[in-house]
């Protein structure tokens, strides 16, 4: 229901601003630009879904081997103490816990192509447990908020873009991104737990969150001991080694259980194709709405208005130049990526705005895209508090990113 209102708002705001630009400023190009954006966005949505088909088929096939080989169930049993606290609706030891873990692990490694199909597989498992099929369950919302908060340990792609844009030290945003994304995830867990009345003050969750905090600190310290050149190389190598190890491990587990791994892969791959087809209309809807909003100039007006308001307070407003990346990130990953590259091109990769745009990009994830794709894949229409909690996590990440960027580079 919330996505319905947001989608309508995109069009109404875009139309109002386009009329003002045409009548007041005589801008005759605005409506053609808006209509062009609808066709381009629809084509982009289809191309994304088409490109996702192969990746979905691959990873859902691998996951099917993992299920048959018993690894997913093994992961579920190991994570059960923590997940029974965060996901009280999921039966203890249910295989979907393993799917959730695999998705979150892929996100933490910055492996977006692997994370999406694993997340869709987890959503299918959560939907099986959902008593109201058209309404998001508490477990679904907690899972999606963990996704939208964007916890990333190795932001490989951002480091690569900084290197391509001529940054003297492409990895200098590595630790700031880790800090910002950690605060975003922590805020998302707290917000969702408050909505769902989950008690976070129990020994299991306190030890887990404390342990994760120490692990993040350890990773940050370890990478800080490396040279700037070695840091990106090690991060990329570790991510890909871990990913391929998972694939081989699943296959070996299937062989050990005497599973026909080829047939199991084909069965899972078929599910990947059908899932990709189901996503298309939802993806077209959300990307067309975003495209119209951007083409009307609404994003530019919003940023200029915020800069003016900040200027009235007398506060430093240089961070506003990076704000388009933060505002676009909940709507579109590719859009935010374009904003990040544009900021580095306009201000310089080593400028305050250039660095902050990179931290924004790594601090959160594409909230509305994830909601549209994940809920759309299982036919959920009523999202309840998913959007509110996801956006609270995004806001925490943005505020943390600004503060951390000033601390490191201000």
**CA nearest neighbour of 162 among 357, 319, 323:** 357
What pLDDT is attached to residue 18? Answer: 94
At 200 the three-state DSSP class reads coil
Radius of gyration of the chain from its Cα atoms, rounded to whole angstroms: 22
Structure tokens at 381: 């229409």
Structure tokens at 348: 């310089």
What pLDDT is attached to residue 109? Answer: 57
The conformation of residue 320, written as its DSSP 8-state character, comes to: G
What pLDDT is attached to residue 309? Answer: 87
Tell which phi-psi region holds residue 198, choosing left (phi > 0), alpha (psi between -120 and 50) or beta.
beta
What pLDDT is attached to residue 212? Answer: 76
Give CA separation, 135 vs 149, 323, 379, 381, in Å: 21, 33, 9, 6
Q: How far apart are CA 180 and CA 194, in angstroms?
A: 21
Contact residues for 138 (Cβ-Cβ < 8 A; gap 6+): 87, 88, 89, 196
Q: Are 105 and 93 in contact (CB under 8 A)?
A: no
Q: Are 355 and 172 in contact (CB under 8 A)?
A: yes
Query: What's the pTM value of the predicted model, to 2 decimals?
Result: 0.74
Three-state SS string across 138-187, please?
A: HHHHHHHHHHHCCCCCCCHHHHHHHHHCCCCCHHHHHHHHHHHHHHHHHH
Q: What is the pLDDT along the chain (410 residues), one digit of tens a residue?
A: 566 787 898 899 999 999 999 999 899 999 999 999 999 888 888 887 777 787 778 877 887 888 788 876 777 677 678 878 888 888 877 888 878 877 877 677 555 556 778 888 889 999 999 999 999 999 999 999 988 886 776 676 687 778 878 888 787 887 788 888 888 988 999 999 999 988 888 888 888 878 877 876 787 677 777 775 676 577 667 767 777 888 898 899 999 989 999 999 998 888 778 777 877 887 788 788 888 988 998 878 887 888 888 888 888 888 888 988 898 888 777 678 777 887 888 889 999 999 999 999 888 888 888 888 899 889 898 889 998 999 999 999 999 999 888 888 87
Give CA separation, 237 vs 23, 65, 231, 346, in Å: 55, 25, 10, 31
Using alpha carbons only, give the angle 268, 269, 274 rounded to the nearest 5 degrees.
100
What pLDDT is attached to residue 266? Answer: 93
At 365 the three-state DSSP class reads coil
Give CA separation, 327 vs 117, 157, 270, 322, 330, in Å: 26, 20, 36, 9, 7
Q: How far apart are CA 306 and CA 153, in angstroms?
A: 31
Structure tokens at 209: 């969150």
What pLDDT is attached to residue 27? Answer: 92
What pLDDT is attached to residue 98? Answer: 79
DSSP string computed for 7-20: HHHHHHHHHHHHHH
């Amino acid at each position: 229901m919330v996505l319905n209102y947001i989608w309508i708002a995109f069009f109404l705001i875009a139309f109002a601003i386009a009329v003002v630009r045409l009548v007041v400023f005589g801008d005759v190009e605005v409506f053609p630009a808006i209509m062009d954006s609808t066709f381009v966005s629809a084509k982009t949505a289809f191309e994304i879904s088409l490109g996702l088909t192969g990746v979905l088929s691959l990873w859902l096939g691998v996951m099917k081997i993992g299920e048959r080989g018993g690894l997913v169930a093994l992961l579920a049993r190991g994570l059960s103490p923590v997940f029974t606290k965060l996901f009280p609706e999921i039966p203890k030891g249910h295989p979907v816990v393993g799917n959730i873990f695999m998705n979150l692990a892929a996100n933490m490694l910055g492996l977006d192509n692997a994370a999406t199909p694993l997340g869709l597989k987890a959503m299918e498992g959560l939907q099986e447990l959902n008593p109201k099929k058209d309404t998001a369950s508490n477990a679904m919302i907690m899972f999606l908020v963990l996704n939208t908060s964007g916890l990333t340990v190795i932001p490989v792609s951002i480091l690569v873009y900084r290197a391509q844009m001529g940054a003297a030290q492409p990895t200098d945003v590595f630790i700031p991104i880790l800090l910002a994304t950690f605060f975003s995830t922590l805020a998302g867990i707290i917000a969702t737990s408050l909505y769902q009345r989950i008690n976070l003050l129990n020994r299991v969750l306190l030890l887990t969150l404390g342990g994760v905090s120490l692990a993040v600190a350890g990773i940050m310290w370890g990478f800080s001991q490396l040279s700037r050149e070695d840091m990106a190389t090690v991060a990329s190598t570790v991510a890909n080694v871990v990913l391929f190890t998972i694939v081989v491990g699943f296959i070996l587990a299937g062989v050990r259980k005497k599973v026909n791994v080829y047939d199991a892969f084909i069965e899972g791959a078929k599910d990947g194709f059908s899932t990709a087809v189901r996503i298309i209309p939802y993806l077209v809807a959300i990307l067309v709405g975003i495209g119209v909003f951007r083409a009307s100039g609404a994003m530019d007006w919003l940023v200029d208005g915020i800069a003016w308001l900040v200027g009235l307070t007398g506060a430093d407003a240089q961070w506003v130049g990076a704000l388009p990346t933060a505002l676009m990130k909940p709507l579109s990953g590719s859009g935010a990526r374009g904003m990040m590259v544009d900021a580095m091109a306009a201000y310089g990769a080593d400028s305050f705005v250039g660095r902050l745009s990179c931290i924004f990009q790594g601090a959160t994830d594409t909230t509305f895209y994830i909601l549209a794709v994940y809920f759309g894949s299982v036919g959920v229409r009523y999202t309840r508090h998913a959007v509110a909690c996801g956006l609270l996590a995004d806001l925490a990440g943005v505020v943390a990113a600004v503060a951390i960027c000033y601390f490191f580079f201000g």
